[in-house]
Structure 1
């Protein structure tokens, strides 16, 4: 079995630190963050925000405009080939046309002269013909001609342009934008382009055909126009709206816009930061640490922080985010100042709790954490993040707040509340919840909680188990309790908590054997029970007896381990909790401790067997093969050499072992006693023989003498 203990920061160096949120890593295991590993750090640190979540707070969706539902407007975000936009457009152009019209449109698309398209397309509806002519002109770079044809489409009565109205307005906007670089008056051309994109959205809202979802795409195009016109706030709002409608282009455009903004001269940035949308975008970027690599700050970020702090002094807008940015930078005074205007949102109360912890006011911190947990929506998620030590956290603020509050609960001795707060994360902080359940709660406290609040979920099917579908958190907790009950000798209570019938039957068998080993009066039967329990502990020990965390790491199937958490009294680890944890240490506190349990039980089985029996030798051989320490393996072999009988397989002891035969040792209990006596008396053989002769002679003379007396 693998026993790796890898440095987490070395597992995925080849991928770099700029791994997209939510992406899967293929170079090694992802170890979840443990809040209890470094409690002071967990309480002090404010995790970075999520840029995708933060920019979703900027701008507004357009009322009536449908969200993106297909890949037509989306760049590829995986490892495959990017979408073929020309192919998508060609397919969409055929919608609503007869077969003859479809063929005609395909032919006209191959032309390069827009006027020829208009001449040869007389048999097509006017909206189709004029749009095609405009599209060919646009491709040829004849933007003024293209704009004229698109305007002709839009001049048609509404009932005569159901298929190309949205297309024409969108393309008109692009044509006008292209013309703006040529026109003598740039501003009017840009203004007309923005109007065309607004018209495209309205036409899409009004129900005109929009299979390419150009209504949403027009937001990004108009944002580009606004940016060109110098209106950064409007550009940000439009890209943000595009993002809200589900277009990845809006999200990626905001990231690119942020990069462009950071590269501007400081004076220009300071001017732009007077706009609320620019201020929000910069704040979102800073608290999300966009551009950080291996915990290294980008070179332009310090400049942005200083400019933002100067421009937002006394600001009442976005105060909770500005407080968060200052807290992350260690400017706690500014963070407090912004929190005075931050309202009652979850982030504001979370920051107040952290500042109270810094002040040593645990009562105020506890109250603030409770308010933060109430204020954060249950479904709010900031996506996945990686910590500097390369742990992974699925950051759900409500769960994180509860997890940090659990640290305070542990410190004051409220262990059940601490466990409940960690367990409610539904697996996000399972390692912490398991640690408290396994090492801090008493078994009766844990059992009462499970019985009252954690009903058994439906068991996984065999197919799910074969496909390594993870257990529900409730099932994992019940398994943990079942294993703990078995370890503590409560064999009758344990089986019902295991998640499937197979494990339940194995738990019953193990418990029955442990009880038989202690209660049966006949030594061979007791030895059989001890051995069966030992074999069960060895081969099913991870599932039946293993610790979820140290030292066995059943949570990883025993394949990996984590750095141990030091039990040292301090501000956030009280003596009472340390005493509880020390009382629940594994016995022995060794990796795969259940193997040592197995060898101890096998040793007890050997104690009850005649040393001259095959069963005695086989039990010792099996125990030696069970992979504990070399010292213990050698001890079993030494015991066999000193006490056991000759067996033909002894030459490969500990590797080639027969199964113990418990049917034949009984008769050897008598012979073993006789053999032991012979061994003891062998040095006195001659003396005993002489004494025996003398004893027989004396007995005979005594009998003869007694008979003579009787005759007289």
Structure 2
């Protein structure tokens, strides 16, 4: 068996457990909606904390998403700022000419900002003043640092293109440090300094957005710095929104800060938490935390200390229902369906609201209303909305794109009512997310003509992917579907149509060779020729069967390269499985319905080859021996060996039948037909040899007399 590349996360031992129960040791497999249809319709996947908090952030014009330049906090003993200094030095080295680069590096080692001014007199003003401010900041003289950074910002715009954003950001940091120092002084008032610091951070963002140099992405970093000051002042609304805006721009610092704020909310006693939840953003942050199950334990259970939080959150909402769909989702997940329905009256037409309405309609048994709600949910969700990856209660993984998920759940209802093509289309549109479900419908539920019509109309062959040497390129789902169709066409004997659906020249060649061998097995004149063609087809079925004949799903699991088995795909009649689907599934099951079913097909073809060979020939023994080795330990292996023992010739290598087999010599098999005919004649005539010998002599004498007479006549 040859296999194609599997996803690289499939690294454990093969599984052979019943289909349906939770799988034991092995890799994480994708969730299949059709495995437990009732569960798929009943559950609402948990939200994604990053997605939920990013919704709370503002879209800030002019600020670009972060790159690898934005560093995460780095804790390294007593020198946590080392990565930032190294990054700053790299930037300065890249943007300054060689003569300035060396001078700037030297000036940064000084301890006195006045020395910087004196020794850097030949530098541009913005560089000299900024470095002097940085030296003052490192020395702890924040007031002097503020003065220098203000001097940079006071320069004409054309004279501070390199350090405007840096100066505003550093000014904010220096003012923030001063506010902390003022907080330690009973006579000082830190609030004005914090306000000035926040203004400086806002200025840093404005300068970055205007196009002033910002290679360190300080405009985005300023969001987190300002948020920290807002939090210190008790302004949770501003803090959450600023951190969320930072996170929305791709900064992990914004995300981690919101995690910390959420943890603070969870740890608060009831009374201070009630007060804080009057601030809308604090309330929304707690909603995001609870909806995403981010604090749940390894066994997917909500910690005891969190179970009070939904009640406190709902009590704080009152008539402030701008997040009604999220509150409805929380209520649904908690099993409070009446509360969920109440919130949905105020939830509008969001995708989440319609999704929940569909689920509540199913609980009431109204599948028509549920189907309508699913369609509205699919239309309302942005196609690119993603909630990230989750682990299901069965330890499968799911990449949650809600638009795809609601279409998948709608497909379950479509299957039940017999709209098989619609169900397949909805599942296929998810591409790799629910590919296993789509594949199951494609090869087990749709008729072959339905599947071929869909592929021909909607799934053209993708362009060949270009991969760098040694890199892994996932196969397009369109390619997988087309090859699924090609394999099904071969299995069902529609040979001429199949090869063009295979992706690679090698697979197309294998498919064409298999087709030609199957045709030759019918059309060749001699029995030996037919046997040779059948054996060639059998060999291809064994060596390339996974790729040209295997089922994508059970029993072969071609999507896993055959390396894993998830058990049988047998289904039982139930509330969500109609009789029509059941009948179609039964009609398309593998024959035999065993893992690597194509090996048994190969062995059967070899057995048919033996039917066309003289039983006394070496080829007869060789094809049976080889076929037995393809299906070790099976009833078919035992039947092949029994046939050899009863009908075949003695061969020395038969002692290890199925394991050490010679290649069949078809060229010698024809001779055995003549030999077998003569042997049969001898066996039949042997009892009459006493009578036959005189008769033979008489006949020979008669022939001789006729010959002599003819010679005389001619003479």
Same fold? TM cut 0.5: yes
Q: What is aligned with 2:315?
A: 310
Q: Does 2:609 correspond to 1:605?
A: yes
After TM superposition, the structure 1 stretch with the greater mean CA deviation from structure 2, 326-335 or 161-170, is 161-170
The structural deviation recorded for 1:49 is: 1.5
Q: What is aligned with 1:173?
A: 172
After TM superposition, the structure 1 stretch with the greater mean CA deviation from structure 2, 620-629 or 81-90, is 81-90
Distance 1:48 1:486, change over 3 A: same
**Aligned counterpart for 1:33 among listed residues 31, 34, 42:** 31
The structural deviation recorded for 1:437 is: 0.8
8 Å CA contact 2:554, 2:567 repeated in 1: no
User: Partners in 1 of 2:92 and 2:173 — Cα distance?
Assistant: 18
Q: What is aligned with 2:141?
A: 142
Distance 1:310 1:453, change over 3 A: same
Paired residue secondary structure (1:655): coil
Describe how 1:24-423 pairs up with structure 2 within 5 A. Answer: 29-74=27-72, 84-93=83-92, 99-183=98-182, 184-294=188-298, 295-423=300-428
After TM superposition, the structure 1 stretch with the greater mean CA deviation from structure 2, 596-605 or 132-141, is 132-141
8 Å CA contact 2:29, 2:397 repeated in 1: yes
Q: What is aligned with 1:475?
A: 479
Describe how 1:699-710 pairs up with structure 2 within 5 A. Answer: none
The structural deviation recorded for 1:127 is: 3.6
Which whole-Å deviations, capped at 9, do the CAs of 1:267-325 have from their partners, x for residues lacking one?
11211111121122111121112133321323443232221121124432111111112
After TM superposition, the structure 1 stretch with the greater mean CA deviation from structure 2, 230-239 or 484-493, is 484-493
User: Partners in 2 of 1:485 and 1:206 — Cα distance?
Assistant: 61
User: Partners in 2 of 1:484 and 1:198 — Cα distance?
Assistant: 63
User: Partners in 2 of 1:697 and 1:502 — Cα distance?
Assistant: 66
User: Partners in 2 of 1:245 and 1:519 — Cα distance?
Assistant: 68
Paired residue secondary structure (2:669): coil
Specify every segment of 5 or more residues in structure 2 that has no aligned partner in the other structure, as ranges. Answer: 4-12, 183-187, 701-715
The structural deviation recorded for 1:150 is: 2.7
The structural deviation recorded for 1:646 is: 2.9
After TM superposition, the structure 1 stretch with the greater mean CA deviation from structure 2, 621-630 or 34-43, is 621-630
User: Partners in 2 of 1:464 and 1:649 — Cα distance?
Assistant: 47
Which whole-Å deviations, capped at 9, do the CAs of 1:653-690 have from their partners, x for residues lacking one?
322222212222223224324434656888xx5xx556
User: Partners in 1 of 2:95 and 2:267 — Cα distance?
Assistant: 48
Over the aligned positions, Cα root-mean-square deviation in angstroms equals 2.9
Which whole-Å deviations, capped at 9, do the CAs of 1:149-201 have from their partners, x for residues lacking one?
33343344545544333322222221222222332212222222212222222
The structural deviation recorded for 1:111 is: 2.0
User: Partners in 1 of 2:128 and 2:562 — Cα distance?
Assistant: 69
Which whole-Å deviations, capped at 9, do the CAs of 1:210-239 have from their partners, x for residues lacking one?
332222211110100010111111101111
8 Å CA contact 1:517, 1:525 repeated in 2: yes
Distance 1:229 1:621, change over 3 A: same
8 Å CA contact 2:486, 2:502 repeated in 1: yes
User: Partners in 1 of 2:302 and 2:416 — Cα distance?
Assistant: 34
The structural deviation recorded for 1:551 is: 0.6
Q: What is aligned with 2:706?
A: none
8 Å CA contact 2:565, 2:595 repeated in 1: no
Describe how 1:286-685 pairs up with structure 2 within 5 A. Answer: 286-294=290-298, 295-459=300-464, 469-676=473-680
After TM superposition, the structure 1 stretch with the greater mean CA deviation from structure 2, 436-445 or 168-177, is 168-177
8 Å CA contact 2:70, 2:251 repeated in 1: no
User: Partners in 1 of 2:172 and 2:131 — Cα distance?
Assistant: 16
8 Å CA contact 2:603, 2:631 repeated in 1: no
The structural deviation recorded for 1:204 is: 2.8
Which whole-Å deviations, capped at 9, do the CAs of 1:127-152 have from their partners, x for residues lacking one?
43333232222212222332233334
Distance 1:531 1:66, change over 3 A: closer
Which whole-Å deviations, capped at 9, do the CAs of 1:485-540 have from their partners, x for residues lacking one?
11112222222222233322322322232233234443222222221221121112
Distance 1:577 1:671, change over 3 A: same
User: Partners in 2 of 1:96 and 1:499 — Cα distance?
Assistant: 49
The structural deviation recorded for 1:55 is: 1.4
After TM superposition, the structure 1 stretch with the greater mean CA deviation from structure 2, 263-272 or 97-106, is 97-106
- Structure-2-length-normalised TM-score: 0.88
Paired residue secondary structure (2:131): helix
User: Partners in 2 of 1:673 and 1:83 — Cα distance?
Assistant: 94
Paired residue secondary structure (1:151): helix
Specify every segment of 5 or more residues in structure 1 that has no aligned partner in the other structure, as ranges. Answer: 12-27, 701-712
- Structure-1-length-normalised TM-score: 0.88
Distance 1:196 1:268, change over 3 A: same
After TM superposition, the structure 1 stretch with the greater mean CA deviation from structure 2, 225-234 or 385-394, is 385-394
